[in-house]
């Protein structure tokens, strides 16, 4: 648990330049690219969700992975810190533990992933350990992470058994950072700032 999360049990916009989002639906197991495009009405944007086929590979900026807290109640707000810095205190009871990762896909470009589902955070925590194990031999490079599919996670609750999906992730290689990373907005808030959360944001 190198990222410092507590995930063993359930717990009770500015401008037009931002990173669009990748989301993972922890109920259906779908990996989704949120496509936000200018509408016919000036100053307005339209959103559509496009399922990303698995297996699929992304270059992930694990070296700048952020951990912290996100809420959508009443509006989007986050408090994050790069791994290795002191963890941010939970701002309110409505904030959920989260990570924020920039990742690049050949088709979808540079994106941002901000999962809060505990089933997903556990996987990312292990993924970060795998990244650290290989980072010293791959200085200046970023890991290529493959989403190879999903696995079912069963959670026992007072209300009975609940089932969720978690992504199956693995490092399949290392590459020089794509140029898109150096062109990313300095203070990205991602499409999540304007979009309602998916089932990705459940507690388990």
Domain locations along the chain: 20-197
Q: Residue 3 — pLDDT band, cuts 50, 70, 90? A: low
> Omega into 184 within 30° of 0, i.e. cis?
no
The answer to whether residues 194 and 45 touch, using CB atoms and an 8 Å cutoff, is yes
Taking 80 as the threshold, does the pLDDT of residue 139 lie above it?
yes
Distances in Å between the Cα of 174 and the Cα atoms of 20, 110, 133, 138, 144 are 24, 17, 12, 7, 6
How high is the pLDDT of residue 4?
Answer: 59
When pLDDT is averaged across residues 34-49 and rounded to a whole number, the result is 82
Please state whether beta strands 45-51 and 109-113 pair in parallel, antiparallel, or not at all (unpaired).
unpaired
How high is the pLDDT of residue 64?
Answer: 94
How far the first Cα of the chain sits from its last, in Å, is: 16
Q: Residue 126 — pLDDT band, cuts 50, 70, 90? A: very high
51-65: pLDDT as tens digits: 999 999 999 999 999
Which one has a higher pLDDT value, 191 or 120? Answer: 120
pTM of the predicted structure, to 2 decimals = 0.78
């Amino acid at each position: 648990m190198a990222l410092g999360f507590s995930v063993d049990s359930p717990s009770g916009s500015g401008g037009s330049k931002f990173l669009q989002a990748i989301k993972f639906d922890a109920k259906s197991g779908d990996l989704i690219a949120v496509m936000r495009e200018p509408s016919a009405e000036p100053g307005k944007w339209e959103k559509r969700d496009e399922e990303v086929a698995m297996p699929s590979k992304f270059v992930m900026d694990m070296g700048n992975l952020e951990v912290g807290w996100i809420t959508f109640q009443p509006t989007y707000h986050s408090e994050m810190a790069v791994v290795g810095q002191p963890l941010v205190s939970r701002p309110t009871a409505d904030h959920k533990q989260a990570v924020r990762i920039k990742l690049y896909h050949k088709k979808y470009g540079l994106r941002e992933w901000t999962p809060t589902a505990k089933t997903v955070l556990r996987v990312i925590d292990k993924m970060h350990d795998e990244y650290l194990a290989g980072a010293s031999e791959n200085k200046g490079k970023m890991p290529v992470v493959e989403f190879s599919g999903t696995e079912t996670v069963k959670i026992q609750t007072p209300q009975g058994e609940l089932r969720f999906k978690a992504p199956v992730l693995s490092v399949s290689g290392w590459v020089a950072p794509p140029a898109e990373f150096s062109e990313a907005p300095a203070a990205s808030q991602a499409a999540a700032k304007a979009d309602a959360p998916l089932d990705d944001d459940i507690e388990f």
